Structure 1
Amino acid sequence: MIKNWLRSALWAATALCAGMAQADTGKLTVQLNKFEPTEGGGCRAFFLFQNQTDNSFEGFEMSLAILDGNGVIDRLLSIDAAPLPVSRTVLKLFEIPKISCDNISEILLHDLPVCKPQNAEPIDCFPILALDSKTSATLAQ
């Protein structure tokens, strides 16, 4: 009976520690903050990256699908947002050529080909991502 109690207590403590470690990791927030038309008829997208994790990222690349006003994929766009330092908000601008800002209904994050913390092996960043948009287009995964 004592062995079962100890086993249960040890399991509960392990689960609690794992939950605390995960909570300490924090989120990496990617916000589509603003659109601005460009002279050539394209759109400039302003992204804010807020790194609330315990890791600086020396590599962070996103593969995005740009959907037009009808919800049809217009193009794929790869962007490199690195470096992303710890406890910092970083602004990155990306050009989306030959589509007006008004004609972008959604930006879909369909892959993260590179997510590499500084001085560490690459990781799967999808679980730590939080996506947001302040534009008329949604940012989704």
Structure 2
Amino acid sequence: MGDKATAKALAAAILAGALSLPLAGALAQTTTTPAKAPGVHIELNKLEQQGEACRAYLLFENEKGAEYPVYRLDLVLFDKDGRIDRRIAVDASPLRAGKSVVKLFDLTGLQCSAISKILLNDISPCEDASGPRDDCVVSATLSTLTDVSFYK
């Protein structure tokens, strides 16, 4: 009779352990997976020659996103031959939640017609209310209304 009681206790322990595995996996998943950053849409809206500088107009659409008190673009500009012309940092901070905003910056000593493409190399630093983010460039979407390719 002792063997039957031991067998039943063992079976109950195995069943309890098997039933708790999916729950343990779900709990581990929720505590280790950070929330994905809401994406910001960035549009290269216009390039305009301003004397010796090319003025770039960027539209940031953060309609569904979080507020970003820190949001800096790392951009690489390529000439018509596909060679890197320069690398620049553009501070777009702050980006308010539920808001679109146009930011402009001048590229001194550069003709707009000499730019063939612009690479969004990174968005760093990037911070929302939870602190520094490392997924901002992945969650960003891009478009252009110019003849210049804007990509990541």
Matched to 1:121, the amino acid is G
Asked if residue 72 in structure 1 is aligned to residue 83 in structure 2, the reply is: yes
Cα gap change, 1:6 to 1:71, in 2 (>3 Å):
same
Taking only aligned residues, the RMSD between alpha carbons, in angstroms, comes to 2.5
Matched with 2:110 is 99
- The alpha carbon displacement at 1:38 in A equals 1.0
Q: How many aligned residue pairs are there? A: 134
Q: Does 1:32 align with 2:30?
A: no
In the TM superposition, residue 109 of structure 1 has moved relative to its aligned partner by 1.1
Q: CA deviation at 1:6?
A: 9.8
The AA in structure 2 aligned to 1:39 is G
5+ residue gaps, structure 1: 16-20
- The one-letter code sitting in structure 2 at the alignment partner of 1:34 is K
Deviations 1:56-102 (A, max 9, x none): 00000111111111111101111100000011101100111112111
What are the residue-to-residue correspondences of 1:1-141 with 2, within 5 Å? 26-40=38-52, 42-51=53-62, 52-54=64-66, 56-118=67-129, 120-124=130-134, 125-141=136-152
Computing the radius of gyration from Cα coordinates, the structure with the larger value is 2
Q: TM-score, normalised by structure 2?
A: 0.74
User: What TM-score do the two structures reach when normalised by structure 1?
Assistant: 0.79
Structure 1 vs Structure 2: percent identity of aligned residues? 31
Give the residue type in structure 1 aligned to 2:133: I
Structure 2 distance, partners of 1:98, 1:128, is 32
What letter corresponds to residue 28 of structure 1 in structure 2?
A: V
Where does structure 2 lack aligned partners over 5 or more consecutive residues? 1-16, 30-34
Aligned to 2:3: none
User: Which amino acid in structure 2 is aligned with residue 30 of structure 1?
Assistant: I
